[in-house]
Structure 1
Amino acid sequence: MIVEANGGISIISAFVNGHGAAAALKLPMQTEITPTDQDSFPSTEIGKLVDYIRNIYKISGNYSISIRSEIPPGMGLKSSSALAISVVFGLLKMNSINFTDNEILRNAARASIYNNTSVTGAMDDLAMSYYGGYCLTDNGNFRLLSRHELEEDFVLICTGKDTVESINLKKKDFSPYINFYNRLEDNLKAGRVYETMVLNGLIFDDGNDSKAVKTILATGAFLAGRSGKGPAIFGLYKSEEHIDRASKLLLSDGYSIIKSRFNNRGIHISEP
């Protein structure tokens, strides 16, 4: 079985008050799960993810898992969440286990905490990858608050060589930003999705974003900023014609480039 889910970018990071939001991109990950005589996983984290779900649902048997992904890891583009929801979804489907949307999201979130790929469980990122569009969640209580479709605008993603793992932010004190984040959530609920993305990224700006952001804005983007904790930078465009110029400039500065669009399609079984 091949399960396809997508990565995305942050709208509100859940580190501050437990509420998070994320938007899906056309940035696919294909996870192939095959019953085998002996477990074979690409990483220890995936093994722990499978063990957690096997224990919760009393699933027997061994599995081989392989991944083909266009989502670069450690860049704030939701690769861990796309993988977690794909593995959980695939295992439950393969074993003909009935589940509700809320149940699979909760258990994928708990599994993500268990295998140390997430601090909060990343319910927002999981829901985004599961449903498509954008989702607002209460990560502390593993609860979906709302989900919406997006205009499928063009998105340019710019990444460097550095990575940032969510688990490394576990000890950071975000409490001074609580009032700001309450207002960010109000801003999102009022429908100002893109502006909220940009404002959220400012909290994690380490001073290395400005050159890439200026290049993106100078080539026709209507907004640009950091995807949550980053270090990925995004630029939003109404048409594709300006993206090539931005890409050439950013590539010459040593960045890697991904061209995408917002995506309203959720997780699904993909044909081999």
Structure 2
Amino acid sequence: MDGHGRATAPAAGTVLNALATGHGSAFAIDLETTAEVDLDGSGTFAGEVADHPDADTRLIERCAELAVDRWGADREEETGARIRTESEVPMAAGLKSSSAAANATVMATAAALGVDPDPVDACRLGVQAAKDAGVTVTGAFDDASASMLGGVTVTDNSRDELLAHEALDSHALVWWPDQQAFSADADVDRCKRVAPMAQLVEELALDGRYGEAMTVNGFAFCAALGFPTDPLVEALPAVDGVSLSGTGPSFVALGEKDALESLADIWNQREGTTWLTTTRQTGCQTT
């Protein structure tokens, strides 16, 4: 152990938005956030986001602080750290950039301390940091667990409880416009009005029918959050599933590569970025 740790965590797409019922579902996708942590004994936690000098660093600072409190409390000389994150994941686009940053930071801090924590426990620590930093409404255990574990998860966010976790092997197409939508600003009351649809989505997800689940979710939450449904309609019926991801503004589709390439030709006509990738079976990893 040299007081330095590095970890990567994947982004995630949405099957079920947890704002309506407190239950959510997400799957890891192959876009990464990397965190590097150096313990420095300064007594303070200072964060930096690469290429975003004005970014809010409270989340990654709180992640490192909680991790040191949990696993390094008997090492007073190691209190304090410098944290730097770098990401392929666009910020505030609904692709779980905060969850990926939190997971990577927690695990990088654990590595710097010479600790190999239980992944779910580490995930819950990042969720607590997100709540403390005010960057999440639901706690985002669904997003965080998918990013930490890989594959697809279904969760009870009110209890940070994992209800289901399994592999999900598919190509994925993501489109995000040149705008941001912060989860903490979402209209929760409007989302709760689509709770009956969210309950249906959860039933489908727990039955392993993730494509159908995310499509129902997409139409329900586009309506609740005021996003257009055109990207959903353009994807059907060729894809396995398509949804607004998180609280937007990005959309994500799952399906065969050929179908997604054809969809990319359509989505590319919109302003923004279209990215063809895959789901991820591996989650957060120290490197």
TM-score range, shorter chain: 0.7 to 0.9
2:25 aligned partner, one-letter code: A
Task: Decide whether aligned partners of structure 1 residues 222 and 127 sit closer, same or farther in structure 2, where only a CA change above 3 A counts.
Answer: closer
Equivalent residue for 1:92? 110
Instruction: Establish whether residue 187 from structure 1 lines up as the match of residue 187 from structure 2.
Output: no
Alignment match, 2:8: 4
CA contact (8 A) 1:4 1:30 kept: yes
Amino acid aligned to 1:212: P
Residue identity in the other structure for 1:45: L
C-alpha distance after superposition, 1:25-62 (max 9, x if no partner)? 11111112223365431223322333333344436333
Q: Report what 2:66 is aligned to.
A: 52
Superposed, which structure 2 residues align to 1:82-231 within 5 Å? 82-97=100-115, 99-151=117-169, 153-169=170-186, 171-205=188-222, 208-217=227-236, 220-231=238-249
More moved, 84-93 vs 122-131: 84-93
Cα distance, 1:97 vs structure 2:
3.6
1:5-44 to structure 2, matched below 5 A, reads 5-36=9-40, 38=42, 39-42=45-48, 43-44=57-58
TM-score (norm 2): 0.83
Contact in 2 for aligned 1:133/1:263 (Cα 8 Å): yes
1:205-245 deviation line (CA, Å, top 9, x unaligned): 15643343344448x53443312321111232312x45445
Opposite residue 20 of structure 1, the aligned amino acid is: G
- Are 1:69 and 2:87 an aligned pair? yes
Counting matched residue pairs gives 267
Q: Deviations over 1:165-199 (max 9, x none)?
A: 11112653533333322222111111111111111
- 1:251 to 2:268 alignment: yes
Deviation at 1:102, TM superposition (A): 3.4
Query: Structure 1 residues 178 and 224, CA, compared in 2 at 3 Å: closer, same or farther?
Result: closer
Give me the whole-angstrom Cα distance separating, in 2, the residues matched to 1:165 and 1:5. 20
Equivalent AA in structure 2 for residue 126 of structure 1 = A
Q: 1:250 to 1:186 in 2, by over 3 A?
A: closer
Name the SS for the 1:41 alignment partner.
strand
| TM-fit CA distance, 1:141 | 0.9
2:54 alignment partner in structure 1 = none
Normalization by structure 1: what TM-score? Answer: 0.88
Q: Secondary structure at the match of 1:109?
A: helix
| Cα deviation 1:96-141 (Å, max 9, x = unaligned) | 3453333222222111100111112111111101110001111111
Determine if contact 1:204/1:230 at 8 Å carries over to the other structure.
no
The code of the aligned residue for 2:60 comes to: I
Name whichever of 198-207 and 229-238 sits farther off. Answer: 198-207
After TM superposition, give the deviation of residue 73 of structure 1 in Å.
Answer: 1.1
SS of residue matched to 1:124: helix
- Across the aligned residues of Structure 1 and Structure 2, the Cα RMSD in angstroms comes to 2.3
Alpha-carbon distance, 1:156 to partner: 1.1
What stretches of structure 2 of length at least 5 have no aligned partner?
49-56
SS in 2 for 1:40: strand
SS in 2 for 1:120: coil
- Inter-partner Cα distance in structure 1 for 2:140 and 2:69: 21
Equivalent residue number for residue 280 of structure 2:
263
- Partner Cα separation in structure 1 for residue 209 and residue 230 of structure 2: 25
Residue 219 of structure 2 contacts residue 232 of structure 2 at CA under 8 Å; is this kept in 1?
no
**How many angstroms apart in 1 are the aligned matches of 2:244 and 2:166?**
22
Q: Any gaps of 5 or more consecutive residues in structure 1?
A: none
Q: 1:45 to 1:232 in 2, by over 3 A?
A: same
Whether the 8 Å contact between 2:19 and 2:192 is mirrored in structure 1 is no
